[in-house]
Amino acid sequence: MHFKNQTGENDMQGLESITACCNAHACPILPAELLSKHTTFRIGGACQAMVQIANREGLQAILQCCQEQHLPWVVLGNGSNILAADEGYHGIVLQLGRAFSNVRQLDETTLFCEAGATLSAVGKIALEACLTGMECLAGIPGTIGGAVYMNAGAYGGEMKDVVRSVEYLDETGAFRTATPEELQFSYRHSMFSGTKKIVTGVTLQLQAGKYADIREEMQKLKNQRVAKQPLELPSAGSTFKRPVGSYASFLIDQCGLKGASVGDAQVSVKHAGFVVNTGHATCRDVLELCDFVIETVKEKTGYCLELEPVILK
């Protein structure tokens, strides 16, 4: 569901209706909330309002209210794969966070995770239950819902390897369940990509393992991340998708672009696949730098790089 922006009096009426709906369903609302406070890039202006979804009924009611008031909306998880515009977002940002972060074990090898649960939290619970399969995903700084949306992956594993089913809210406001066959997983893509369907819960199929082995693998991958990735600086993770036949970081490094910068946006000197915020980078800085990287790599290698983060504007 996409809606045209409203201005002036209609804006105020729409926000008043959303506020009343939020109050009725115990969902906190933050008017004019800065997106820079909710994205790992630490970039982005204010949204019209941010709603912290507290329950399934509240989610349904608030979406219906947005539709009735012709207010655009978007769902935000941990903000780890988002580049928000300097001008902000003229609409309602729905955050599935702490209230949507429960994880429970269904049987010996299956976990049900609400969409707001972080991958790190799910990884810890899997470890404690001696379940293997989450080791390569647990270090990704996102939520389980966001990870399903983009079929997140790292170190040879992807969400598609462990997802048994996904609960979601469709465009009509009805809760549905999708099987692995219906999820259409591919590289950084799922059936949810580019749609207004909202992931609300994920059932993971893991395997029994040994606590010591799982912990050792998680620590090994954590050490690799710390050693190779610029985790000390704000970013949106890997900035470019992997092109067929090569790796973005290799191509960027090959073109001598490590350290290239626009304002406070910089191609990391530690890992060329990351664009980082070294201070007060703007969205405009990041996009200008990414355009320069894409043009240079295309000119020198023939490869066409694509941005991985979602641009929120």
* C-alpha closest to that of 158 among 143, 166, 148: 148
Question: Active-site positions?
Answer: 188, 238, 308
Q: Are 92 and 29 in contact (CB under 8 A)?
A: no
- Put simply, whether the predicted model's pTM sits higher than 0.75 gets the answer yes
Q: Which amino acid is at 84?
A: A
* DSSP-assigned letter for residue 118: B
Tokens read off for 284: 């405009």
Write out the chain's pLDDT in tens, 313 residues. Answer: 333 333 456 678 889 999 999 999 999 999 999 999 999 999 999 999 999 999 999 999 999 999 999 999 999 999 999 999 999 999 999 999 788 999 999 999 999 999 999 999 999 999 999 999 999 999 999 999 999 999 999 999 999 999 999 999 999 999 999 999 999 999 999 999 999 999 999 999 999 999 999 999 999 999 999 999 999 999 999 999 999 999 999 999 999 999 999 999 999 999 999 999 999 999 999 999 999 999 999 999 999 999 999 999 9
Provide CB contacts within 8 A for 281, sequence distance 6+: 41, 43, 263, 264, 265, 266
Q: Are 99 and 58 in contact (CB under 8 A)?
A: no
Beta strands at 29-31 and 47-52: parallel, antiparallel or unpaired? antiparallel
Q: Which residue, among 272, 291, 107, 101, has the nearest Cα to 206 in the 3D structure?
A: 107
For residue 280, CA distances in Å to 143, 180, 288 come to: 25, 41, 15
* CA 58 to each of CA 18, 25, 144: distance values in angstroms, whole numbers, following the listed order: 11, 5, 20
Q: How far apart are the first and last CA of the chain?
A: 16
